[in-house]
Chain A
Amino acid sequence: MKPEALLHPTPAGLFCPIGRFHVDPVRPVERALITHGHSDHARAGHGHVLATRQTLDIMRIRYGEDFCGSEQAAGFGEPLDVDGVKVSFHPAGHVLGSAQIAIEKDELRIVVSGDYKRGVDPTCAPFVPVACDVFITEATFGLPVFHHPDPKEEVAKLLTSLKQFPERSHLIGAYALGKAQRVIRLIRDCGYSDPIFIHGALARLCDYYTSQGIELGDIRPATLEKKDPNAFKGAVVVGPPSAFQDRWARRFNEPLIAFASGWMMVRQRAKQGGVELPLVISDHCDWPELLATINEIGPSEVWVTHGREEALVRWCELKGIPARPLHLVGYEDEGD
């Protein structure tokens, strides 16, 4: 069987005609397999959703009780059958609950990695390489310029800045699902035990992470009754980056804007965004990790879903690995 007969791109997303299901569809479909809870991958309104327990919980938190018609939870490594197609979920190391999905029929196995990373992250299960014929990879940071440093060194920069500028509120932009919790946890692991203040958009997801056994320490809402410029003096505040350009940010004392993202690797990006303290912390693979993963798995073919496809495809060509871009639309890197 040709791989395209088992799985191929359609305007709604990757589709398996034999099992009659989509993976991470960008529009409502009858049957959806979801890799993880970021809003560009997990959308509301599908008939039936198959995902990990945690991804289902996160979708419920974000979209409400009726986010889909019916749901089924998949355990990591548990073999499932969907209309004669073998399906299994494996940890992707991206955010809590994130999974790669292996799809198999007649000795042909395709792995959809979804978004994934290889670096250490105590807030989710680490990536497990799964042998396969076709490996479908993302390429969010698929350019040789992307080399993510050790995230603890990045947090050390934050702690240094807090000592240098003890009067300024340090506002850390981090996306609500995954990055925010990972950053808070990293700050804790680097020995910071003062209260960390969070924007309201983060509250329910932080609570959920805590309920799943991920310790985030003393977290408090960044709200106050009256405008008091000294209330958050020298405090660490975590919120979605969009909020920092909003009036919400005015409650803080001489805010120092930090942003936790893989994009912060490029100085001009940071400068354009008005970021004073870039923290290069990513939930995606950097260039060496993408290459190492492909080398380790050794697929006979690589498909590239979204990001900077052309460079990764070029690298595969130079290595003699057949590769092609899938040109999927609708994935916007919410997670970084």
Chain B
Amino acid sequence: MKAFATLLDRLVLTPSRNGKLKLLADYFRDTPDPDRGYGLAALAGGLDLKSVKPAMLRDLVLERMDPVLFQYSYDYVGDLAETIALVWDGGEKDDTTDAEQPRLGEVVTLMNSLGRTEVRSAVRDLLNHLDPSSRFAFLKLVTGSLRIGVSARLAKQALADMSAHPGPDGSDNKRDVTEIETLWHGLAPPYEALFAWLEGKADKPVLATPAIFHSVMLANPVEPGDTDKLDPTDYAAEWKWDGIRVQMSSYGGTRKLYSRSGDDISGAFPDIVEAINFEGVIDGELLVGGTMRSNSPTRTFSDLQQRLNRKTVSAKMTEDYPAFVRSYDLLFDGDADIRARTFLERRERLGEVIEQAPHDRFDLSALVPFSSWEELDRLRIAPPDPVIEGVMIKRKDSPYQAGRMKGPWFKWKRDPYNIDAVMLYAQRGHGKRSSYYSDFTFGVWTETPDGDQLVPVGKAYFGFTDAELEVLDKFVRDNTVERFGPVRAVRAQPDFGFVLEVAFEGIARSTRHKSGVAMRFPRIARLRQDKQPRDADRLSTLMAMVEAKAA
């Protein structure tokens, strides 16, 4: 438990991705089986552990301490698990040694073997035998609230990193993360066979479970000049829909829906999973609304968001926000791997499969006919549907290859939106940027009874170069008008302030923001020191963008 607790303590406070990867890879390398496998499962969201209700934990702690002192402590700390972890020893010094603390594997095995009436005393006993940091980790695990900013994808990347070990031929033997993703859903905690293979001590595990995830093929953005070298007749085009990329995998009655990174999201989309009547693996876009064949419109990404990041879903939710999959590609037809066939061949077979599938849940992504890149560019800029965010360009003879290769597939997105906004607040960054004001809240003008005022519309913390950051930081330090903890308000008047050109991918109404709009992926495109705040955009302009999108 100690090693896992130490890892959690570090991960929570490590903002950088590389830092997290290093901590994870070291943990996987240095921790023995089966503990590391359970740790991996806990991080990647696959740990099956008997849960404990917060009310029972509160009871347990009040058996041993004055309720008034507990309340003072809880008020100060603000998190139940952390409070209990810290106050458990009361007036005594912690005297547990690392060697006598139960191991993570032991804790998992014990908890899952308990009968209903045994949980209370077993939890009490465990808390007695763990040190404060391990207690915190244990309490977070059994209350199911492990939020530490590590995705399953990041954990798998760390597994790939830890697999590097020098071989006799000088190679580093590092496994590719896509191989791990392909294996992932066929394996179960504590993943001993997986670790043995990663460390070069055993062959690659053979999967018994069907309906696994296969790493997806990704496209590169079209850069200026890219299309000059390409013959349009070699390529097919499709609309790029603004949903999320998914994979449906179905074998022998096991049906799964995976996200692009291989997270199993079947639980949140029973409407789709139950409608799967084919066997094989299909790549597509998850959207909300009606399929082409049902002749009702595709709805926006913000509607889709209502369905995302849920473990389960209510009947009302599936009724109000019906999901469907717009299919792009077929990787397996039944159990036949057709990834090596050409795009057009695969597409033909995909069309046959989709034809037989329920019309309200599945459709086929249409091809966009074009004869020149100029023509496609015009289509891209003015797509026929507001939920289209550009076009995909795929070589007609391309096989399906996992990863992001340059050449076979391109994405050509609609140009981003741009507005001029005024910097209102700045906050210090993390890690490398902890001495810089690098997170900026910006606003636009709106009419109020007291005249024109700036209203915050978003926050951006990237898009600028290091040299530009120096300029921004200096402005913040020289023009602070108020401080709120780590946040500074800066001067922003019609004739004095900092104008930022903000680019973003989409805009929607939002009840959560005071301004009533929310942007997607806002970033700072340019510093507009040539402009005065009075020249910045107005909220009505943003509202018009929302309307235009909905129309």
Contact = CB atoms under 8 A, between A and B. Distances in A.
B516 interface: no
13 contacts: A144-B65, A144-B73, A144-B86, A144-B90, A145-B73, A245-B435, A250-B435, A254-B432, A255-B435, A266-B82, A267-B12, A267-B82, A314-B69
Contacts of B70: 144
B22 A145 contact: no
Given A144-B73, A250-B435, A274-B434, 6 more contacts: A144-B69, A245-B434, A276-B10, A288-B89, A288-B91, A308-B76
Contact of A277 (B13, B26, B430, B435): B13
A265 interface: yes
A245 to B, nearest CB: 6
A175 B513 CA distance: 40
Interface in A254-270: 254-257, 265-268, 270
Contact of A287 (B10, B91, B136, B434): B91
Nearest to A254: B432
B13 A278 contact: yes
Interface string B421-434: 00000001011101
A145 B13 contact: no
A249 interface: yes
A227 to B, nearest CB: 12
B485 A147 contact: no
Contacts of A291: 91
Interface of B: 6, 9-10, 12-15, 19, 22-23, 26, 65-66, 68-70, 72-73, 76-79, 82-83, 86-87, 89-94, 132, 136, 428, 430-432, 434-436, 485-486
A318 interface: yes
Closest 5 CB pairs of A and B: A145-B86, A249-B435, A144-B87, A291-B91, A311-B72
A271 B66 contact: no
A244 interface: yes
Contacts of B19: 165, 276
Contacts of A292: 91
B84 to A, nearest CB: 10
Contacts of B87: 144-145
Contact of B431 (A144, A145, A271, A276): A276
Contacts of A311: 69, 72-73
A332 B412 CA distance: 58
A274 B89 contact: no
A78 interface: no
Contact of A246 (B9, B13, B435): B435
B434 A249 contact: yes
A315 B69 contact: yes
A211 interface: no
B13 A271 contact: yes
Contacts of B66: 314-315, 318
Interface of A: 143-147, 149, 157, 164-165, 244-250, 254-257, 265-268, 270-272, 274-278, 287-288, 291-292, 308, 310-311, 314-315, 318
Contacts of A244: 434-435
Contact of A271 (B12, B77, B91, B432): B12
Contacts of B82: 266-268
A257 B436 CA distance: 14
Nearest to A144: B87
B517 to A, nearest CB: 29
Contacts of A257: 434
Given A245-B435, A270-B13, A277-B13, A288 B92 contact: yes
Contacts of A165: 19, 22
B451 to A, nearest CB: 36
B94 A147 contact: yes
Contacts of A146: 86
Given A145-B77, A244-B434, A245-B434, A310 B91 contact: no
Contacts of B10: 276-277
A268 B428 CA distance: 17
Contacts of A268: 77-79, 82
A143 B435 contact: no
A248 B435 CA distance: 8
Given A147-B93, A245-B435, A288-B93, A274 B72 contact: no
Contacts of A278: 13
Given A145-B87, A276-B13, A310 B72 contact: yes
B214 to A, nearest CB: 34
A318 B68 CA distance: 11
A164 B22 contact: yes
B282 to A, nearest CB: 42
Nearest to A266: B77
A266 B486 CA distance: 18
A288 B87 CA distance: 11
A272 B89 CA distance: 26
Contacts of B78: 268
B150 to A, nearest CB: 15
B398 to A, nearest CB: 40
Nearest to B9: A267
A164 B26 contact: yes
Contact of B432 (A147, A255, A277): A255
A247 B477 CA distance: 10
A274 B435 CA distance: 10
B101 to A, nearest CB: 14
B72 A308 contact: yes
A231 B436 CA distance: 20
Nearest to B75: A143
Nearest to A163: B26
Residue picked from A291, A311, A314, most chain B C-beta under 10 Å: A311
Contact of A147 (B83, B86, B431): B86
Given A144-B69, A164-B26, A288-B92, A265 B86 contact: yes
B132 A147 contact: yes
Contacts of B430: 274
A89 B350 CA distance: 88
A294 to B, nearest CB: 10
A304 to B, nearest CB: 14
Contacts of B89: 147, 288
A307 B159 CA distance: 46
A157 to B, nearest CB: 8
B211 to A, nearest CB: 38
B432 A143 contact: no
A164 B94 contact: no
Contacts of A143: 69, 72-73, 76
Nearest to B470: A250
A247 B436 CA distance: 8
Given A288-B91, A310-B72, A311-B72, A245 B428 contact: yes
Contacts of A255: 431-432, 434-435
B77 A314 contact: no
Contacts of A314: 66, 68-69, 72
A207 B507 CA distance: 59
Nearest to A278: B13
A287 B86 CA distance: 11
Contacts of B93: 147, 288
Which of A144, A244, A274 gathers most chain B CB within 10 Å?
A144
